[in-house]
Amino acid sequence: MKLSFSRRTAAAAGIALAGLLATAIPAAGAATAAPAGTPAKTATSTAQALAAPDIPLANVKAHLTQFQSIATANGGNRAHGRPGYRASIDYVKAKLDAAGFTTTVQQFTTSGAVGYNLIADWPGGDPNQVLMAGAHLDSVASGAGINDNGSGSAGVLETALAVSRAQLQPAKHLRFAWWGAEELGLIGSRHYVTQLPAAERSKISGYLNFDMIGSPNPGYFVYDDDPQLESVLKNYFTGLGVPTEIETEGDGRSDHASFKNVGIKVGGLFTGAGRVKTAAQAQKWGGTSGQAFDRCYHSSCDTTANINDTALDRNSDAIAHSIWTLATGPVVPPGDVYENLADVAIPDNGAAVTSTVTVAGRTGNAPAALAVGVDVKHTWRGDVVIDLLAPDGTAYRLKNSSTNDSADNVITTFTVNASAEAANGAWKLRVQDVAAQDTGYIDSWKLTF
């Protein structure tokens, strides 16, 4: 996991991303909708998700032993631009090639050195519904990076190999990824997302991120960015009788942020880094209160001795559970979309502005899981407050302001329980910039029924 940092992103970055995303949508104009009276789409399959296999802990640890050996033979680390990182890519790629995956090594350059992402596609599945799982493979320069993030890399690798052993025939297309230069600022995953054509990005139904899943004094944290992905992972641990908490320490600091920032649904697991375990957490999970979840975070002692086997085993099984649950269940087509593509400028530290989508021709109320897709370009998204206004004026808060959220843009999908609201009428997205010095605009937004 990379170190956190604050920044003020230049407005040009938002403009560049806006240009990139423009290829994914028609020319801007008034709100659009499906023909009036079009019935909501329903699942065409009644298939149930298959049960996932147990992921052998010994296999996962064998990968960690290989990562340690690679680091030991290459100056003690597997960092970007160092021979240990390329050797790690070669090791993972060889395993996947032998297992029948189609692998691609993607190159990029940062900090004066060539970096690599490894992408592995499993044959079959709906190419328009791509489920991705990934982990960063690089370490920091000060150590072998066995928990951060050999653990996530090994868990994802062994899950991919389990897919091959089972000769899984998923409903969704499966894609696995190992990212480079995460420790330098999510460089590899951001490169992948920005280089991917907009039409291909739109096919990714979800991205699951696994960064540090074997911390020696572990907690059990689940990303809460998307309700469906969160529930799949939480339900697994509930079945084990292991309570979970929402992940906050690494929020926006790992590769899921690259996907979330372009509107792709994300989820994931985490066992803690430098933050200290509280007494309540120690009572709930065991371990030592008053001590960091990982005392060797970003240090030379992050070796194979820096792993909790129980946490690694549970989280590796949870990875497999999420892949089998999300990939082998029925593929549900998207619902009817009502969209406004017109730009609306957001005054800096000024009054709220609105953009309207008119829904007509439906019967009854809005769904309990109304999807609100938001694309707001802004150079400091922590300044932005976003609400959905129902036709009767009821406000649903989608996003609060945050002085700690220094990234740019709000490009994501929120889920609102709007079942108390009539479906038809003028729905509004209300956006306000509540602090000075940064600018932005509503690029587009949509409702999916």
Q: Name the residues annotated as catalytic.
A: 182
- Counting Cβ atoms within 10 Å, is residue 53 exposed (0-12), middle (13-18) or buried (19+)? middle
Question: How many whole angstroms separate alpha carbon 242 and alpha carbon 308?
Answer: 15
According to DSSP, residue 148 is labeled: I
Peptide bond into 59 cis (omega under 30): no
Query: Judging by DSSP bridges, how do beta strands 172-179 and 126-136 pair with one another?
Result: parallel
Residue 436: CB atoms within 10 Å: 10
> Which residues lie closer than 8 Å to 165 by C-beta, 6 or more apart?
53, 99
Return the ∠ at Cα 322 (arms to 319 and 328), rounded to 5°: 130
DSSP 3-state percent helix, strand, coil across the chain (nearest 5): 30, 25, 45
Q: Is 151 left (phi over 0), alpha (psi -120 to 50) or beta?
A: alpha
What residues pair up with 427 in beta bridges, in sequence order? 357
Question: How many whole angstroms separate alpha carbon 397 and alpha carbon 352?
Answer: 14
> Which residues lie closer than 8 Å to 207 by C-beta, 6 or more apart?
132, 133, 134, 256, 259, 264, 265, 266, 267
Q: Which of 329, 425, 334 is nearest to 371 (CA)?
A: 334
User: Which element (helix H / strand E) includes 159?
Assistant: helix 152-166
Question: Which tokens in the block code for residue 354?
Answer: 């609105």
Across the chain, which distance is largest between two alpha carbons, in Å? 67
Q: By three-state DSSP, how is residue 95 classified? A: helix
- Counting Cβ atoms within 10 Å, is residue 167 exposed (0-12), middle (13-18) or buried (19+)? exposed
